[in-house]
Structure 1
Amino acid sequence: MNSRLFIGSVVVTTLVVSVLFIGARQHQPAQRPNVLFICIDDLRPDLACYGNPIIHSPNLDRLAKQSALFMHQYVTQPTCGASRYSLLTGRLPRNTVELTNEAIEKEIAGKPRAEVPETFIDNLRRNGYYTVGIGKISHSADGYVYKYEEPKSNVLELPHSWDEMLFDPGKWKTGWNAFFAYADGSNRQSRKAQVKPYESAEVDDEGYPDGLSAKIAVAKLKELSARKQPFFLSVGFFKPHLPFNAPRKYWDLYDETKIPLTPSPAVPEKVSAASLHESAEFNGYKQGDEQASLEKPVSDAYARKLRHAYYAGVSYTDAQVGKVLDALAQSGMDKNTIVIVWSDHGWHLGDYRVWGKHTIFDQAVRSVLMVKTPAMKNGLVRKEVVSSVDIYPTLMELCNVKAPTALDGKSFGSLLKKGKLTHWDNVAYSYFKQGITLRTDRYRLTKYFRTQEPTVELYDHQNDPNENHNVAGEHPDLVKHLSPIWDKGNTGLFN
């Protein structure tokens, strides 16, 4: 063959192959993003990014500046297991079991794999994601089903969701002991509840369990960076859940005398005590300085000490979150990773004389939510009302995975971009204490299925942001106007 013709044919062939290869790459689906999902227990929106100037939360605040920060995200139940059940399944509660901490254990654990995914984690796993859980993502402290004082079992709460479920209980031996840990290796159970609800110990971050979870997460991110597979990594931190225990250095960030008290020191006007509670979980710490009661508030000095302890726990967890976020950035995977931080509900820090969750007031059902996608260049603040059941469909949209049709939530993917939406409905529902509550962008309407009056509560957040005044009796026309929207959230739970 003529050498020029041969060389020409090689060049043409090479060009054709190159064009075909480039075309093939252009038609390949984009690489799916990884997901880092951080769950924080009992964290109310008490962070600097949410407007609290007292809190030291630099790592979460840094993430908030890069994320969509949701100011009005509401969970469906103000208790850990039930709230996480709704989050994971994208469903509103339809039976009373789904209002309890045993919801996941009774509704999911031990069940065979079905056509419908057990959780959004399972759905991601079915669609090619490698899934890793660390700590408390479902209800159990380590993801396994067993009682507080029993040995750890080998029964997963979410049997089909995880490729790996990890936890280091350290000197506390089991997940539940670690969940109620004191720095000396004891726990609430082993000390028969003869403990204070707070502790400040001269230990480093790994002197309490969340430091161990952060260590596992950092190491796991290094492993995941070597995999040729998108991953879902969830890390569940315990603090600031009771007991309010944290290393001393986080207590030292605060001047206790400058910590403000609640703007809601009394029981709300025209509200039954049945809408509140007697702080049973908090009072279960038998060596507390004072017992809480709806009849009278704890002393201002003790209230400040408790708030100080809670804030120290928040700062401790913030530091652990920072370690995980730094490891993600150092790996370079942050460029293709969705980061979500979510807390399972709020907490009453003496609001209405209550210390705990377990109400359907804003302080208990409003929680933290920030979402960062790889496409985001700058953060934004969203004031629209969203629900925790909206997270499932949103995540599926972001990961290009088909969501089941039976979800109650809706994707808020459109809220992850700048600009105001004219069609967002601004509605969220929460359930507890024989009641259903509707939150809109201005009002909270609550109706209870009980005998204690009043059974209807209405709060106007424009004039009463702390829900101190029930104005249902003064505005029956407004109750009537909002009731058809409230009806849409009535799943028949209490009928």
Structure 2
Amino acid sequence: MNPFKLLLTIACLCASTAFARQSAETPKQPNILFIAIDDLRPELGAYGADYVHSPNLDRLAAQSSLFKNHFVTVPTCGASRYNLLVGKLPKSTVEIGNMAAVQMISQKEKAERPETFLEKLRGSGYYTVGIGKISHHPDGYVYDYLEPKSDQIELPDSWDEMLFDAGKWGTAHHAFFGYADGSNRNTLKGQVKPYEAADVGDEGYADGLTANLAVEKLKELKGKNQPFFLGLGFFKPHLPFTAPKKYWDLYEEEAIPLAPFSEIPENSSKASLLASGEFNQYALGEEKASLDAAMSEEYSRKIRHAYLAAVSYVDAQVGKVLDELERQGLAENTIVIVWGDHGWHLGDQLVWGKHTLFDRALQSVLMVRRPGKPGNQIEQVVSTTDIFPTLLELAGMPRDLALDGESMLVLMDSPDSATWRDYAYSYYNRGISVRTSRYRLTEYFRKEGKVMELYDFEVDPFQTKNIAAENPEKVEELLKLLEKGDTGLYQKPPADN
């Protein structure tokens, strides 16, 4: 061989080998599987509730950074999800309502709307797929409960694909409020029970169809030559508390614990709580919730049983998706996040629902599994607002937006980090609340004036007594912190109360 050609061949081989070695050593940008679960309070085995059957979420939690004190910014579905998506604290009443994403994103021109983390990921090369409820509307399209599906997407520029299987219910809204016979709360005008245990398979309710869609989509995504973000939104355990009978059968109803405190807290009032209107609109329920008296123990256990059956049902659907992630060989390069959009009172403080500034409504599930990283538990306080910057850092992307949260990666690497903020703000019911590792201070802006409530979780973990009046110095100290989170949301007292 010509000496020049020989040298050229050797050089090419060396360059090829070096490129291959560099490609093997350079990690691929990670895929992200983000699972949003509606109304999932931290009542799982992983959070210490050993009476709950949640083996798949518990297994994932053991491999994850499990956040023990994660609090949402707004205790209602649409606003909590909007906060998740844009990473900013609410500055207008629109941003604490269920139509936040519609009014702030869908109905705005591109230049006028905030950028979602989905847009950021998509603009950086991620293939984004949504299945189910990620924003407020259950299939990602904007239309009313009794209308046919529209073509107006709730999060324009966020998705490459937005998918949903409405099955026998016809539309996502009907599937969201669906029963096993194909009926739904909407067309029956609330003449339904708030629970159901039907002898059907997992596909007898909508979340089974959603899990199946996700399994099939993972098979497709494996073949794509780009990282993916798969957003998966499950409905349960949102009302109605429906699940196949086999999940109800996992529980002995008599053994299910009741709410540890079912009264109006001392020195608080009905104005700080909720009349449980969402729960009571299921008109065929055997009892109505009220702030005047607790429901019977028998019926309370029945509804708690229904909620836990729905949790076990959605746990099984999560398990199917995680198993497929493993089967496709994707788990080793996929970050998995499970997030509950808020908590839920199950008779706590006499409330059956969300929409309060108490921990039962604000505290929810958050776990993040990173490939190759061991699981750990994080006690420090974090906020849903922190998820956007965390996703950017996990994806290796710059933080080039003005966001109100901080990346939680420092905590995931060092749970006892002394530099972490360790508090979270929440807004609702004409109130602003700050949660620290020990206290919750809430300031309500009512017609009669400002009202302060302070709870000490070290001595009162279930918020049974407002101690603001007897601890003015602590109120003054925490008020300085609270004022940092005052975004101007509540400028005036309401016209009526």
TM tier, smaller:
over 0.9
How far has the Cα of 1:116 moved from its partner? 7.2
How far has the Cα of 1:24 moved from its partner? 5.9
How many Å separate the matches in 2 of 1:199 and 1:311?
Answer: 12
Any stretches of 5+ residues in structure 2 without a counterpart? 492-497
1:91 is matched with 88
| 1:247-267 Cα deviation digits (max 9, x unpaired) | 000000000011111111111
Question: Does residue 213 of structure 2 align to residue 219 of structure 1?
Answer: no
How far has the Cα of 1:418 moved from its partner? 4.3
How many Å separate the matches in 2 of 1:24 and 1:417?
Answer: 26
| 1:157-204 Cα deviation digits (max 9, x unpaired) | 001100000000000000000000010000001212111100000100
1:191 is matched with 188
Q: After TM superposition, where is structure 1 displaced by more than 6 Å over at least 4 residues in a row?
A: none
1:424 is matched with 420
| 1:57-78 Cα deviation digits (max 9, x unpaired) | 0000000000000000010000
Aligned partner (choices 14, 27, 34) of residue 31 of structure 2: 34
| 1:222-266 Cα deviation digits (max 9, x unpaired) | 000000010000100000000001000000000001111111111
Contact 1:380/1:418 (8 A) holds in 2: no
2:462 is matched with 466
Aligned partner (choices 468, 475, 478) of residue 471 of structure 2: 475
Question: Does residue 140 of structure 2 align to residue 143 of structure 1?
Answer: yes
How many Å separate the matches in 2 of 1:124 and 1:117?
Answer: 14
How many Å separate the matches in 2 of 1:150 and 1:227?
Answer: 36
Question: Does residue 273 of structure 2 align to residue 252 of structure 1?
Answer: no
How many Å separate the matches in 1 of 2:21 and 2:248?
Answer: 59
Tell me: CA distance 1:63–1:137, structure 2 relative to 1, closer, same or farther (3 Å). Answer: same
Aligned partner (choices 183, 199, 203) of residue 202 of structure 1: 199
Question: Does residue 350 of structure 2 align to residue 353 of structure 1?
Answer: yes
- Listed as ranges, the matches of 1:289-308 within 5 Å are 289-308=286-305
How many Å separate the matches in 2 of 1:349 and 1:391?
Answer: 27
Contact 2:380/2:415 (8 A) holds in 1: no
- Listed as ranges, the matches of 1:58-137 within 5 Å are 58-114=55-111, 118-137=115-134
Any stretches of 5+ residues in structure 1 without a counterpart? none
| 1:85-122 Cα deviation digits (max 9, x unpaired) | 00000011000011110111111013333397631011
Deviates more, 1:74-83 or 1:453-462: 453-462
Tell me: CA distance 1:10–1:93, structure 2 relative to 1, closer, same or farther (3 Å). Answer: closer
How many Å separate the matches in 2 of 1:317 and 1:452?
Answer: 44
User: Quick one: which amino acid aligns to residue 299 of structure 2?
Assistant: Y
Aligned partner (choices 367, 371, 375) of residue 374 of structure 1: 371
Tell me: CA distance 1:386–1:14, structure 2 relative to 1, closer, same or farther (3 Å). Answer: same
CA RMSD of aligned residues (A): 1.7
User: Quick one: which amino acid aligns to residue 53 of structure 1?
Assistant: D
How far has the Cα of 1:404 moved from its partner? 3.6
How many Å separate the matches in 2 of 1:116 and 1:191?
Answer: 37
Tell me: CA distance 1:463–1:153, structure 2 relative to 1, closer, same or farther (3 Å). Answer: same
1:393 is matched with 389
Tell me: CA distance 1:57–1:453, structure 2 relative to 1, closer, same or farther (3 Å). Answer: farther
Aligned partner (choices 126, 129, 149) of residue 152 of structure 1: 149
Question: Does residue 431 of structure 2 align to residue 435 of structure 1?
Answer: yes
Local SS of the residue matching 1:342: strand
How many Å separate the matches in 2 of 1:358 and 1:413?
Answer: 30
Contact 1:268/1:470 (8 A) holds in 2: yes
Task: Provide the TM-score with structure 2 as the length reference.
Answer: 0.96
How many Å separate the matches in 2 of 1:400 and 1:419?
Answer: 21
Aligned partner (choices 359, 362, 387) of residue 365 of structure 1: 362
Question: Does residue 480 of structure 2 align to residue 484 of structure 1?
Answer: yes
How many Å separate the matches in 2 of 1:443 and 1:369?
Answer: 20
Question: Does residue 11 of structure 2 align to residue 13 of structure 1?
Answer: yes
How many Å separate the matches in 2 of 1:284 and 1:125?
Answer: 40
How many Å separate the matches in 1 of 2:265 and 2:27?
Answer: 53
Contact 1:271/1:454 (8 A) holds in 2: no
How many Å separate the matches in 1 of 2:15 and 2:234?
Answer: 51
1:273 is matched with 270
How many Å separate the matches in 2 of 1:216 and 1:187?
Answer: 22
Contact 1:272/1:452 (8 A) holds in 2: no
User: Quick one: which amino acid aligns to residue 315 of structure 1?
Assistant: S
Contact 1:183/1:208 (8 A) holds in 2: yes
